[in-house]
Amino acid sequence: QKEVEQDPGPLSVPEGAIVSLNCTYSNSAFQYFMWYRQYSRKGPELLMYTYSSGNKEDGRFTAQVDKSSKYISLFIRDSQPSDSATYLCAMSLTGFQKLVFGTGTRLLVSP
Amino acid sequence: EAGVAQSPRYKIIEKRQSVAFWCNPISGHATLYWYQQILGQGPKLLIQFQNNGVVDDSQLPKDRFSAERLKGVDSTLKIQPAKLEDSAVYLCASSLDLSSTRQETQYFGPGTRLLVL
């Protein structure tokens, strides 16, 4: 079993849809949870990070962490074609060190 | 602010050949990381430097991979000899300071795509 599981997709949605991206994990000691966006031929860029459980909102993006279920989610409201990218979840015991990444979910938002 | 620079962007070699990748981190960033991202997978950390010292190389295949950061700025990652399974994108990332009490974000470069034939 991989430490972090993520559906590779692709996930295709129409513009304006609400998108839900998810990861599950096996290590209950993880404390930091991140979401990265990676455009084709580019490196990952940090979208949001959360410490421990709870929700965090930033514009159209909301990150949720449910440590009891070992499940994290990223919601994108009013999705745009520019949101088309691969979304990677990552997590760690100690902040931004020793990140363990999921495989990434490819998102396609059609106009 | 200039981002993390990497070169070359693409490289094709035959198995058993050697190859080297170069990374120039964001100015002032003390911590530098090399990741391997195989197609369809997330990045996997190979090695982490703090200035010119190695912090973590536990996942670096040391029989064929080596990395250095001699002056605490630029870094090179070398593979010798390359195998087919080394085909991947090699990402370099940097962050401000591992010793900082703040949570320092990693900034990634565009990566070098390696194809081993």
Nearest chain B residue (CA) to A50: B103
Rounded CA-CA distance B79/A10 in Å is 32
Q: Which residues in B lie closer than 8 A to residue A46 (C-beta atoms)?
A: 105-106
Determine whether the interchain pair B45/A42 forms a contact, defined as Cβ–Cβ distance below 8 Å.
no
CA B41 to chain A, closest CA, distance in angstroms equals 4
Per-chain mean pLDDT for chain B: 92
Contact in structure between B113 and B13 (CB atoms under 8 Å): no
Burial class (CB in 10 A: 0-12, 13-18, 19+), B1: exposed
Both tokens of B85, joined, read 């399974």
**In the predicted structure, residue B63 carries a pLDDT above the cut 90:** yes
More confident residue, A110 or A53: A110
Mutate to test the interface with A, among B24, B31, B103 (most CBs of A within 10 A): B103
- Measure the CA angle with vertex A28, ends A54 and A30; round to 5°: 65
Q: Which residues in A lie closer than 8 A to residue B103 (C-beta atoms)?
A: 32, 49, 95-96
Rounded CA-CA distance A50/B25 in Å is 25
Average pLDDT over residues B7-22: 97
The pLDDT tens digits for B92-113 are 999 987 665 556 789 999 999 9
The pLDDT tens digits for A43-101 are 999 999 998 888 999 999 999 999 999 999 999 999 999 999 999 999 998 888 789 99
Both tokens of B51, joined, read 């200035």
Q: Which residues in B lie closer than 8 A to residue A40 (C-beta atoms)?
A: none
Burial class (CB in 10 A: 0-12, 13-18, 19+), B78: middle
Buried b (16+ CB within 10 A) or exposed e, A53-68: eeeeeeeebbbbbeee
